[in-house]
Chains A and B, each alone.
Chain A
């Protein structure tokens, strides 16, 4: 039983580390600010989530696990705010995304101008 939990937590750590590498590669490889936020989003969600899941498996059913879960909860509340702040400021200072613009079908929705 102990061995199974150990192996499960090692797998979680491995997936988290792989997500970290994926996110860093994305930050290097993607073309502009807006796309790089997506890569940072992988680190914010998958990497942190899986590494803390591995830690929770190691500490077992205890108060420490609850505290680790709280860390994930607060991180998931706050990390999209920082991502949105970066995107909003990039938009405010006029950085144009290298992206295809898709126009809305109904005219009412189209009163947002960069």
Chain B
């Protein structure tokens, strides 16, 4: 019984500590710039509105106003969380990303066929190697690592800085990754 009470006291103290620390953090955050990049904000709003329209499918005035309110609230939170300062570029979703996705889908189809062939014919020689990524931003690095893992036959095992440890199922796929075509495409996209 006593132990439980002690636990509660500790818990409340801890919560108080968290809140007070948060207040300090908030004061620091206000001192930060909290800039706003206009094209980034506009593209983010467009993405939110598009997502809401697709998911809702109702077009009465009441529900549309609710949708507008919730979109505005999300944009406000993104602004408060320094998402809109321009280091993440959602406008690329309308400019360059769709073309990359089409290319990636074809690549996924090809590697699916060769991986399936390797499984059915029981003919594989796994290899593991390191690959250097040329992206500058964290977002681009994450995109490259995800694209490598998404194509069946290659998996990013470890990431350290801009060097990836990649496991490939056959020698052909390993050669594909080391040739760096995908790397150049993602760097050109400038996410």
Instruction: Give residues in A with beta carbon < 8 Å to B.
Output: 19, 22, 25-26, 29-32, 34-35, 37-39, 41-42, 44-46, 49, 63, 66-67, 70, 76-77, 79-81, 83-84, 87-88, 90-91, 97-104, 109-112, 114
| Extra inter-chain contacts (19) besides given A31-B126, A46-B108, CB under 8 Å | A25-B119, A34-B157, A35-B167, A37-B167, A38-B152, A42-B116, A45-B108, A45-B150, A46-B116, A70-B54, A80-B146, A83-B155, A87-B157, A97-B167, A99-B128, A102-B174, A103-B129, A111-B163, A112-B158
Q: Is B130's CB under 8 angstroms from A109's CB?
A: yes
Closest to B127 in A: A100
Please classify the interface of chain B as helix (H, G, I), strand (E, B), loop, or mixed, using the class held by over half of its residues.
mixed
A101 contacts B128, C-beta separation under 8 Å: yes
Cβ of B21 under 8 Å from chain A: no
Given A29-B119, A102-B128, A102-B174, are A41 and B150 neighbors across the interface (CB < 8 Å)?
Answer: yes
The yes or no answer to B122 lying at the interface (CB within 8 A) is yes
Return chain B residues, CB-CB under 8 Å to A110: 130
Q: Which of A39, A63, A109, A111 contacts B119 (CB 8 A)?
A: A39
- Say whether chain A's binding surface is mostly helix, strand, loop, or mixed: helix
Instruction: Please determine whether A100 and B152 come into contact, CB atoms closer than 8 angstroms.
Output: no
- Report B-chain residues with C-beta under 8 Å of the C-beta of A70: 51, 54-55
Nearest-neighbour CB distance to chain B for A43, whole angstroms, equals: 9
Contact B149 A84 (CB under 8 A): yes
**Distance in angstroms between the alpha carbons of A35 and B168 in the assembled complex:** 8
1/0 contact string of B113-148 vs chain A (CB within 8 Å): 001100110101111111010000000000001110
Chain B positions within 8 Å of A97 at CB level: 126, 128, 167
* Chain B interface residue number, banded: 35 or more
Decide if B126 touches A99 in the complex (CB within 8 Å). yes
29 A-B pairs with C-beta separation under 8 A? A19-B116, A22-B116, A29-B119, A30-B119, A32-B126, A38-B115, A39-B115, A39-B119, A44-B150, A44-B152, A46-B108, A67-B54, A67-B55, A70-B54, A84-B155, A84-B157, A87-B157, A87-B167, A88-B157, A91-B165, A99-B128, A100-B126, A100-B127, A101-B129, A103-B129, A109-B163, A112-B130, A112-B158, A112-B165
